[in-house]
Amino acid sequence: MQSRHSVAPVSLTLPARRHSTFRIVWSILFILTFLGSYRLAQVKPLLLLEPEGRRNIRTFVTGMFPPDLSWEFVSLLGRPIIETIQLSLMGTFMAIVIGLPLGLLATRSLTFTGILNEWEIVDSRPSVFLLRKGTYLLARAILSLFRTIPEFVWAFMFVRAVGLGPFPGVLAIGISYGGMLGKVYSEILEHVNPGPLEALQTTGASRVTVLFYGLLPQALPNLVSYTLYRWECAIRASTILGFVGAGGIGQQLEISMRMFNFNQVLTLVAILFVMVAGVDTLSARIRHAILDRSVD
């Protein structure tokens, strides 16, 4: 009895410690990638400490103060700020228009698997099935093409094609964000609880009816919430688009940068900060409101 409860060294064969080959292989790969990247990226930390680098940073930082708050400069900014907001909004609208239909086609549970399609799979000819699966694959391919090419490359090309101004900016955001929205929409729709859909289907509802009465109502809070998040990103992106001539506040930022007017840069960065923070808070509020309502 006594010996049972005192902690004494035991002679017992030790269970083997697990050495996962996964870890070893990936560690080696990681180190090799790191070394290769280090060479390739021409990393020279000392550059930051060299007198010239230091001097440049000092010029930049001292040049930023005091920020340029003169009326002639600030009055120039009203239009680009509004333009940036409009650009992000219109871009997001266009992204929805592109993303929603493609997203629906790229939803597996709508097009060729799951309870909505059980009957058809057995019933219909293989050609119909292949057509459905083909549509699905095509939609996914388009979405992935849209979203992997960064919005700035799209903007650059649209500026070349249709000229300067906010219009190519809208197209760029619409297309690249359309690709992202479509992909995430399809993921959200695929994870919807299938129970209600099954019930609807047994009432004889068509696929479109099931979509509107079962699928979308369930998925709506998540869809809206993600779209709002993308709108936040669009505000940030539309500042970048200005660099390639697609309107908005980025254009002014580039000009000020080129002219070495660092005090204007500070003003612009501050405005950017306020805009991004404002949109973040606003969209967080809306999101909370939507999610809270859907819980009730």
- In angstroms, rounded to a whole number, what is the distance separating the alpha carbons of residues 142 and 180? 11
In sign, the C-alpha dihedral spanning 269, 274, 279, 284 is: positive
What is the smallest separation between the CB atom of 243 and another protein, expressed in angstroms? 7
User: What is the number of other CB atoms lying within 10 angstroms of the CB of residue 101?
Assistant: 14
CB nearer to another protein: give 205 or 294. 294
CB nearer to another protein: give 116 or 171. 171
What angle, 0 to 180 degrees and rounded to 10, lies between the N-to-C axes of helices 249-258 and 262-295? Answer: 150
- In angstroms, rounded to a whole number, what is the distance separating the alpha carbons of residues 74 and 64? 15
Q: Which two tokens stand for residue 1?
A: 């009895």
What is the smallest separation between the CB atom of 57 and another protein, expressed in angstroms? 5
What is the smallest separation between the CB atom of 127 and another protein, expressed in angstroms? 30
What is the smallest separation between the CB atom of 293 and another protein, expressed in angstroms? 10
CB nearer to another protein: give 67 or 194. 67
Report residue 182: phi and psi, to 5°.
-55, -45
Long-range contacts of 275-279 (CB under 8 A, 24+ apart): 275/81, 275/84, 275/85, 275/235, 275/249, 276/232, 276/235, 276/236, 279/88, 279/231, 279/232, 279/235
What is residue 106's three-state secondary structure? coil
- Which DSSP string corresponds to 65-76? SS----HHHHHH
What is the smallest separation between the CB atom of 65 and another protein, expressed in angstroms? 14
CB nearer to another protein: give 115 or 257. 257
CB nearer to another protein: give 41 or 122. 41
CB nearer to another protein: give 39 or 125. 39
CB nearer to another protein: give 212 or 273. 273
What is the smallest separation between the CB atom of 52 and another protein, expressed in angstroms? 9
What is the smallest separation between the CB atom of 118 and another protein, expressed in angstroms? 28
What is residue 14's three-state secondary structure? coil
Pick the closest to residue 192 from 256, 261, 266, 108 (CA basis): 108
